[in-house]
Amino acid sequence: MDKIKIVIVGYGNVGRGVMKAIDANDDMELVGIASRNPARVQKEVTSVPVVFMDDVATWKKELNVDVAILCGGSKDDLPVQGPAISKHVCTIDSFDNHSCIPQYFATMDENTKAAGTAAAVSIGWDPGIFSLERVLASAFLPGSKADGFYGLSESGGLSMGHSDALRTIAGIKDARQYTHAIPEAIDRVRNGKSPEFNAGDMHWRECFVVLEDGADKEAIEAEIKAMPAYFEPYKTTVNFISQEELDSKYSGFPHDGCVVASGITGEANKATIEYRCTWESNPEATANVLVAHARAISRMFKEGKTGAFTILDIPPAYLSQYSQAELLKNFM
């Protein structure tokens, strides 16, 4: 069996999760890691070559790469790295700024079609799995609207994208952001109200921030709360704490969420569709979904397909390592 040869681009928490996920799949092989700082990564990883991220054409050829899994953040990394790297090799990314996905998809689609490559974009559990669940619910319950909720437990769920966005602010040394669902909003959907929510009606955001020495606390809090798309539409609390407290109390990466839709079948029969997932490790959850899509995009590219794709465009069988016969026998 020819294994799918994968390079990880960006070696943070998601990159580490991708490395573990590749090891769990017999049809894949990690052939390298591309980083802006290879020397740092080489101190941790010695099993594969570590190359400079920007030398795409070189490492694509030398490592014989089939797919590059991009593990950078959505705010500053992926809008640059996605178009640049997908000109040379098929890519998978987890771009998760929901309001900007149409523009990002259009850019990636244009680039990959021109280059003759393929890309799976905005892959994860939301956007990604939850996107698919929303589409399925709207198809199975015509006229219904599926809503996604995140951070169902009392402590909330850690958002990697929002935490990354916090760390881009000058004066912030480290940070974690926890999303909290508003239970009353979930109940309204489950009870068939089909409400039209504003963003702040469904969730609130809790930030734990470690400042650089001499940073302006009030100015940074104001900048956080005014950040478009990430925090501006929501009730946001900002807690300034020490690095020691952040590391001891907020070192884990738990997250969870659900998609809920309610509607009517026939004339007056109520129906509810709900999907829920719970992850002890948010980055490893995203990593596992990314890796499954590396299999799918490799298969699609071999069939001659180019351009950008989302989870909505990819047949579920392409994600699985099992054959069609095995799927029919054991999963139908």
Encode the chain (332 residues) as per-residue pLDDT tens digits: 799 999 999 999 999 999 999 999 999 999 999 999 999 999 999 999 999 999 999 999 999 999 999 999 888 899 999 999 999 999 999 999 889 999 999 999 999 999 999 999 999 999 999 999 999 999 999 988 899 999 999 999 999 889 989 999 999 999 999 999 999 999 999 988 777 899 899 999 999 999 999 999 999 999 999 999 899 999 999 999 999 999 999 988 999 999 999 999 998 899 999 999 999 999 999 999 999 999 999 999 999 999 999 999 999 999 999 999 999 999 99
Residue type, 126: D
Domain ranges, residue 205: 129-280
What is the DSSP-derived secondary structure letter of residue 201?
G
Based on the fold, state whether residues 268 and 293 are members of the same structural domain.
Answer: no
| Whether 274 and 305 share a structural domain | no
Are 106 and 53 members of one domain?
Answer: yes
Residue 75 confidence (pLDDT): 85
pLDDT, residue 196, reads 87
| One domain, residues 153 and 257 | yes
State phi, psi for 305 to the nearest 5 degrees. -85, 135
Q: Judge whether 58 and 38 are in contact, CB under 8 Å.
A: no
Total of domains in the chain: 2
Residues 6 or more apart in contact with residue 271 via CB below 8 angstroms = 141, 262, 263, 264, 265
Do residue 259 and residue 321 come from a single domain?
Answer: no
3-class DSSP assignment, residue 137: helix
Pairing of strands 255-265, 147-150: antiparallel
Show which of 261, 280, 299 is a domain's final residue. 280
70 lies in the same domain as 180: no
Residues 298 and 188 in one domain: no
Q: What is the pTM of this model?
A: 0.90
Q: Say whether both 271 and 145 belong to one domain.
A: yes
Two structure tokens written together for 26: 């017999």
What CATH number should be reported for the domain holding residue 220? Answer: 3.30.360.10
Q: Are residues 133 and 80 in the same domain?
A: no
